[in-house]
């Protein structure tokens, strides 16, 4: 492991480490107006949701790492106490990147990046009509972390209205991630596309068996990873009838690992208990 002390390295290096390690990050595509009603649109990947009652999100338009200046979005939201947040999908991502360019204050990034303004109902700032998921938000609190170049500005906002396109809902009236097709930010120039990296994982309900319930030979296997063992625990092995085998432990565990990777947990357990 390499160890980095943020107080001993340039903040630009800390920024690079954060972007590369704390990822993928959802993108807040923030629409705002200045006090004169001029629109602004900019993406921020220091963003997430933090509660549902009330619905709260937070994003950070950090001070410029080069000049230390405040971003237009920060200035606008502090002036008007409101904004919109539109979720970025794959079909929007190249235009979104264009909107991140350092246009002069007062320039309409909606127009510059070719986006359509979606009229809000409870706030004045428009959303992005091309997005399937738009939130109208009001500022609850601003937290300034010192005003230094690259310094964070947490804008904590309450969502006062959602606009969600019909076609992203599935038959159970839940949002389908394949239909949403969001993109998320990685480090450097990298993004990731959610719809192409999806997998389902059942969530524990109540008390579940822990690693201590695994047979010692299985728990201490040199060939099964923690990932493999956790998947084994998702299957009730208490009623499994072992298949006696004269194979070596290594061969049995390697075969079991292949079965685990193919989701055949019952067969894997029969081999492991043999």
How do residues 34-81 score in pLDDT, each as one tens digit? 999 999 999 999 999 999 999 999 999 999 888 888 999 999 999 999
Would you say 187 and 19 are in contact if contact means Cβ atoms under 8 Å apart? yes
The residue extents of the domains of the chain are: 11-196, 211-272
pTM, two decimal places:
0.85
Convert the pLDDT of each residue in 192-220 to its tens digit.
999 998 888 777 766 778 899 899 999 99
Question: What is the CATH architecture assignment of 11-196?
Answer: Roll (2.30)
Report d(CA 19, CA 184) in Å as an integer.
11
Distance (Å, whole) CA 30 – CA 156: 13
How many Cα atoms occupy the beta-carbon half-sphere of 208 within 13 Å? Answer: 13
Q: For residue 156, what is the enclosing H or E element?
A: strand 153-164
- pLDDT of 247 over the 90 cut: no
For the chain, percent of residues with pLDDT exceeding 70: 99
Q: What angle do CA 130, 132, 137 make, to 5 degrees?
A: 95
Residue identified by tokens 């728990």 is 219
Rounded to whole angstroms, how far apart are CA atoms 234 and 210? 10
Please report where in the chains the tokens 């006090």 appear, as a residue.
35
pLDDT for residue 205: 67
């Amino acid at each position: 492991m390499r160890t980095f002390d943020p107080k001993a390295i340039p903040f630009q290096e800390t920024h690079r480490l954060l972007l590369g390690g704390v990822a993928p990050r959802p993108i807040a595509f923030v629409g705002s107006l200045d006090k004169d009603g001029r629109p602004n649109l900019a993406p921020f990947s220091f963003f997430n949701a933090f509660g549902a009652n009330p619905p709260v999100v937070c994003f950070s338009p950090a001070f410029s790492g080069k000049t230390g200046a405040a971003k237009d979005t920060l200035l606008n939201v502090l002036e008007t106490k409101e904004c919109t947040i539109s979720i970025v999908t794959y079909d929007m991502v190249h235009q979104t990147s264009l909107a991140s360019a350092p246009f002069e204050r007062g320039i309409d990034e909606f127009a510059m990046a070719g986006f359509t303004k979606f009229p809000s109902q409870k706030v004045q700032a428009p959303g992005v009509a091309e997005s399937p998921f738009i939130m109208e938000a009001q500022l609850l609190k601003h937290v300034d972390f010192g005003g230094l170049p690259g310094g964070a500005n947490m804008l904590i906002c309450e969502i006062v209205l959602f606009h969600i396109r019909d076609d992203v809902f599935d038959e159970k009236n839940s949002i389908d991630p394949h239909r949403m097709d969001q993109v998320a930010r990685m480090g450097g120039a990298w993004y990731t596309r959610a719809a192409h990296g999806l997998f389902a994982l059942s969530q524990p309900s109540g008390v579940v068996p822990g690693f201590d319930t695994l047979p010692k030979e299985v728990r201490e296997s040199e060939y099964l990873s923690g990932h493999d063992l956790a998947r084994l625990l998702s299957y009730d092995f208490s009623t499994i009838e072992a298949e006696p085998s004269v194979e070596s432990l290594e061969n049995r565990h390697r075969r079991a690992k292949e079965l685990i990777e193919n989701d055949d947990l019952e067969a894997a357990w029969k081999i492991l208990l043999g």
